[in-house]
Structure 1
Amino acid sequence: MSPLMKLSAITLDCPDPLALAAFYHEVTGLGVHPRSDAEFASLLPEGGPMLGFQRVDAYRAPTWPDQVVPQQLHICFDVADLEEAEARLLALGAGKPERQPNEERWRVLTDPAGHPFCVVLA
């Protein structure tokens, strides 16, 4: 059986996506996506998942390791068929939040512990 999903992106919440992308660009040498902006920026590694940075109003930095403010991140997976992937994931115990920002291109789901992740039409 072939895998249902392929890891395509890891996205971090932050107050300034361009600044955080610039930091990780300097640290990793990965190129900044040309369409990066003040709301969302990303780095594009060869053959690996995209590293994204999304602006969040009233961002609060994680207080690791004490978890007073937990870590913020979500994972995206490419899928060939959104409907099939969603059905299979729901059957495996995923949840589906009511808010779906772009249901034609991706679905936001939650794992059994409540962590959000996206399945994205490849």
Structure 2
Amino acid sequence: MPLQMTLRAITLDCPDPLALAAFYQEATGLEPHPKSDTDFAGLNYGDGLFIGFQRVDDYRAPRWPDQTAPQQFHLDFAFDDLDEAENRLLELGASKPGHQPNEDRWRVLIDPAGHPFCLVRG
């Protein structure tokens, strides 16, 4: 019988936790965790899921799609309108790499700390 596991938190390494939390707060509308500071910041989902951002000295950003500094994992966010979501996230500070494996179904963007994340159809 499988374990009954519930995902409660996802934490991303980064050089500036408050800045990366601010980017994702603007992108998602999530509430900042009240104890966020310069070493660890977080955002709260209403269902109990927590996205954390922890400071790492000598942080090396992933390289998409190059695997010399692999992404190891990425986040996916669902949207009804990929073009609208992409434009808004680019305005907030995301970037768009040239390599897009299936742009009609999803878009790969890079957050300000270098983490790839995907926009998928909702």
Normalising TM by the smaller chain, what interval?
0.5 to 0.7
Cross-structure match for 1:58: 58
Name 2:103's counterpart in structure 1: none
Match of 2:38 in 1: 38
**Mapping 1:1-122, distance limit 5 Å:** 3-71=3-71
| 2-structure distance, mates of 1:48, 1:3 | 19
Amino acid at match of 1:16: D
Aligned-CA RMSD value: 1.7
The separation in 2 between residues aligned to 1:41 and 1:71, in whole angstroms, is 21
Local SS of the residue matching 2:65: coil
Match of 1:89 in 2: none
Gaps of 5+ in 1: 74-122
Q: Report the identity percentage.
A: 66
1:47–1:67 distance in 2 versus 1, CA, 3 Å: same
- Structure 2: which 5+ residue stretches go unaligned? 74-122
Q: Which structure carries more strand by proportion?
A: 1
Partners of 2:72 and 2:27 in 1: CA distance:
20
